Amino acid sequence: AGLIIVAPIGMTLWLIWTVVGWVDSWVWPFVPNAYHPEELVNRLLGRAPDNQIEVNVRGVGVVIFLIFIFDTCAL
């Protein structure tokens, strides 16, 4: 009975993770480097180029995509 409950939940989470990664990889080339989370964090903290923090935030591309879609629909 446990596998019947856990398997669909696991597959759903895996599918969401995959789709979010796919949308991020499609959207990120269109976003200027100044707006990437890694650049924003390092600029706010005043980090030198040779001592930067690496930030990998999955899903920001999806948020940017949704903002773009809703913004263009409002026009």
- pLDDT, tens only, 45-57: 888 878 888 877 8
* pLDDT of 58 higher than 90: no
CB-count exposure of residue 41 (10 Å: 0-12, 13-18, 19+): middle
List all residues 6 or more positions away from 56 whose beta carbon is below 8 Å from its beta carbon.
38
* Vertex 57: Cα angle to 17 and 52 (nearest 5): 150
Q: How confident is the model at residue 75 (pLDDT cuts 50, 70, 90)?
A: low
Per-residue pLDDT tens digits for 33-43 = 877 888 888 88
pTM for the full predicted model: 0.65
Average pLDDT, whole number, for the chain? 84
Q: Could you give the count of Cα atoms lying within 13 Å of 12 in the half-sphere of its Cβ?
A: 5
